[in-house]
Amino acid sequence: MKYADYIVRDPSLCGGVPVITGTRVPLRTVLASLAEGCTIADILEEFPTLTEAAIRAVIAFAARTAEEDIPVSALPAFA
C-alpha cells in the first residue's frame, strides 16, 4: 500500500497535522473513529469526501509508524 499517495502533511493545512490528501480530515479522526468501533462504511457515510482506499491507507500508515516507534519486546518462552 502506497499510503503516501493518500496522506499529506502541510504546515499551511490544519497546522501541519497529517490529513487525507484533498481533504481536511486528519488521520487521527479516522483512527479514533475506527477505535470507537466505526466500520469503514460508517466513516465513508460520515466523511463522503473519503474513499475506502484512503481509509485503508490511514490504517497502513498507522501500522507502519507504530512498527517504527514502538519496540516490540520478545515473546516469552513457553515450556
Average pLDDT estimate for 1-16: 89
45 or 67, which is more confident: 45
Ranges of each domain in the chain: 3-69
Q: Is the pLDDT of residue 10 over 70?
A: yes
Top-level class of domain 3-69: mainly alpha
Three-state SS letters, the chain? CCHHHCEECCCCCHHHCCEECCCCCEHHHHHHHHHCCCCHHHHHHHCCCCCHHHHHHHHHHHHHHHHHHCCCCCCCCCC
Q: What is the CA radius of gyration of the chain?
A: 15
Whole-model pTM over 0.85: no
